[in-house]
Structure 1
């Protein structure tokens, strides 16, 4: 009886051990199976894109004039205020006319003498010396009147805007800077269409940037606008200290949306090139670092590739890497779920 009970116990233990071993094998078999991750891919192709140089710059007025007469005198009337738009030829300031009126009277008298000398000279009734003296006096007086007219009635030299006013009607202009002006002047005017900017470019682009090179200006004040312009001057020398050369850029400003002093980014278009451009969302960033990488399909597995970023084009970005080639399949959906070596299955 005891022997029978012992055999039953041993049989039960054997079955339990066998069951445990079988369960372990099944468990090992289950954990060894790795499910492929579904992803979407895009075949890499080179695209023809514009090569650009991006530089920041401050905008300046195309012309700026601190307007003042050549001689001191009392200000009769100032016809404009700060912020007024002006047209070329418009009367801006009128000075006291006393000196002009005296000069005009003198010119009239000398003109009479000149005409008389001219008639006498035709009949050879006047010496050459006397005739030359009459002509000289008349021409000097005429030049003086022209000079005083220009400095008595001060006209706008261009279309623009008044940016400063430093005197009031009836005050005496002394020829010194006054009222906050940085230079001796009664008013300050600026031509703001077009605007210009000076940019210092690296010498490596000296042969690429020429007069007429197209540019685009972007301003944070107008995120949805692009202002087109072109290079107007390329300065012919290179600064040996900074290894840069200077260019002047002109930006049309017909609606006067831009203003002198504004800050913006200027893109210089220096030709076209073929390069790999991909959706920006496909590029991943390593946490805690600035390293960027993408995943490509390599024989059914995800392969991680480190990349450098080039130019951005709206929702696309240029990839720079020796490890990617035209024709490679870039993972563009599901890349956040894979790691290097993960099996993948491509879905449509």
Structure 2
């Protein structure tokens, strides 16, 4: 209302120039608006890129486990007795068959002497000094020979009495007596043979008793066991290490009491549990790399020796045994170890720079540049090395992945590729020249 009043106050002649100026001002405002819109449009994001590489990698299954001795045995006493001497203690190295502990042999020696005397008494009945190694003829036993002689004499008497009786010169009673004597001599010979056979059997039983007594005497010397088979890959002599001493000198032992615990340190067995999903990948003979905390910079080579055919229904894992050579004794039985079971040496993987992978809110992805725009691809990471990482996903083999600037990107964001900045070398520092006072005077 005020404007119209002001318009009419000025009149047509005064208002016309003003209206024209206002129209020109309105036209000027409309032409400036598109220019502002162009200036506020998003600019392409500068990024650096790197090509996806295809490299051969080794596929491994990472596991942990416990190192155990190839043989871990607690040596016990086969006989009872008092400990006379302990020859080795914890930490000693002993060879198979080496003497470990001695028991008092007095009782064993007496038992051997008693059994030997009984054997001598039985052999004396047979007229022998020792048991024959071949089959023995009891007809040579003196008692049997004596019975045979008596039988022959009885037979001769019967023959003489029968001859006299046929000629009517002998009495019938004498013939019957001689025949009875012959029957008695025959029975005596059979009894002598049976007695000789029984004496021979008793001699052999007594000889076994002597052997038992001798073995009991031998058992008073407790020795390291002798393995029936040599571990695979071990060329030198097997050696035991004393892991624990369980007796003291003067102690009374019963049969079966433990005396020392021994362990074979080379090679060792690594027992580990592998998830069931890897059951088709693990095979006997596969190489295994073992690492322990006490030698962090070293890797020990082993091989899969045995695979348990059954799966634990609770943990859904199966047991794998790895043979680990330990010639220098750096590994300790009972220690904790990490292992990598090498399942494939010739696998091919997509490798990208490690800085190209973005992880956010549980999602792992990277960006590729296609026709000047960024596209995100969800991936899974695998093996990792110095400056690189393996990725698995719908990733083109010849793709260019964004290595810097990806935090500012989203799908379809325009990008411009720039070259990575090269660190400029510092210019050489030159010493300033001291002005000559004579020249300043000039």
TM-score (norm 2): 0.64
Shift of 1:74: 0.9
- Alpha-carbon separation, structure 1, partners of 2:343 and 2:301: 15
**SS, match of residue 202 in structure 2:** helix
**Which deviates the most, 13-22 or 302-311?**
13-22
Structure 2 gaps, min length 5 = 1-9, 142-195, 227-237, 421-442
The equivalent position to 1:31 in structure 2, one of 29, 40, 59, is 40
The equivalent position to 2:353 in structure 1, one of 279, 283, 286, is 279
Shift of 1:42: 1.6
CA contact (8 A) 1:295 1:305 kept: yes
The equivalent position to 1:164 in structure 2, one of 238, 244, 251, is 244
Q: 1:153 to 1:20 in 2, by over 3 A?
A: same
2:376 counterpart of 1:304 = yes
Instruction: Give the 5 Å matches for 1:319-334.
Output: 319-321=391-393, 323-334=394-405
Q: 1:52 to 1:33 in 2, by over 3 A?
A: closer
Find the counterpart in structure 2 of residue 217 from structure 1. Answer: 290
**Which deviates the most, 136-145 or 117-126?**
117-126
- Alpha-carbon separation, structure 1, partners of 2:118 and 2:303: 53
- Alpha-carbon separation, structure 1, partners of 2:14 and 2:392: 78
CA contact (8 A) 1:295 1:303 kept: yes
Shift of 1:39: 0.3
CA contact (8 A) 2:99 2:221 kept: no
**Which deviates the most, 305-314 or 227-236?**
305-314
Q: 1:131 to 1:332 in 2, by over 3 A?
A: farther
Q: 1:326 to 1:134 in 2, by over 3 A?
A: same
- Alpha-carbon separation, structure 2, partners of 1:11 and 1:119: 148
2:301 counterpart of 1:228 = yes
Q: 1:16 to 1:258 in 2, by over 3 A?
A: farther
- Alpha-carbon separation, structure 2, partners of 1:86 and 1:15: 112
- Alpha-carbon separation, structure 2, partners of 1:320 and 1:147: 69
Q: 1:123 to 1:325 in 2, by over 3 A?
A: same
- Alpha-carbon separation, structure 1, partners of 2:45 and 2:61: 43
Q: 1:97 to 1:268 in 2, by over 3 A?
A: same
Shift of 1:67: 1.8
Look at both structures and tell me which one has the larger radius of gyration over its CA atoms.
Answer: 2
**SS, match of residue 214 in structure 2:** helix
**Which deviates the most, 238-247 or 56-65?**
238-247
**SS, match of residue 130 in structure 1:** helix
2:136 counterpart of 1:125 = no
Find the counterpart in structure 2 of residue 200 from structure 1. Answer: 273
Shift of 1:336: 4.5
CA contact (8 A) 1:73 1:95 kept: yes
Find the counterpart in structure 1 of residue 130 from structure 2. Answer: 116
**Which deviates the most, 304-313 or 66-75?**
304-313
- Alpha-carbon separation, structure 2, partners of 1:104 and 1:224: 60
Q: 1:38 to 1:233 in 2, by over 3 A?
A: closer
Shift of 1:345: 0.8
- Alpha-carbon separation, structure 1, partners of 2:223 and 2:286: 38
Shift of 1:10: 8.8
Q: 1:159 to 1:91 in 2, by over 3 A?
A: same
- Alpha-carbon separation, structure 2, partners of 1:7 and 1:106: 154
Larger proportion of helix: 2
CA RMSD of aligned residues (A): 3.7
TM-score (norm 1): 0.78
Shift of 1:215: 1.8
- Alpha-carbon separation, structure 2, partners of 1:258 and 1:143: 43
How many residues get paired?
336
**Which deviates the most, 78-87 or 62-71?**
78-87
The equivalent position to 1:185 in structure 2, one of 248, 258, 267, is 258
CA contact (8 A) 2:100 2:221 kept: no
Find the counterpart in structure 1 of residue 322 from structure 2. Answer: 249
Find the counterpart in structure 1 of residue 191 from structure 2. Answer: none
Structure 1 gaps, min length 5 = 177-183
Larger proportion of strand: 1
**SS, match of residue 82 in structure 1:** coil
2:367 counterpart of 1:295 = yes
2:203 counterpart of 1:134 = yes
- Alpha-carbon separation, structure 1, partners of 2:114 and 2:286: 56
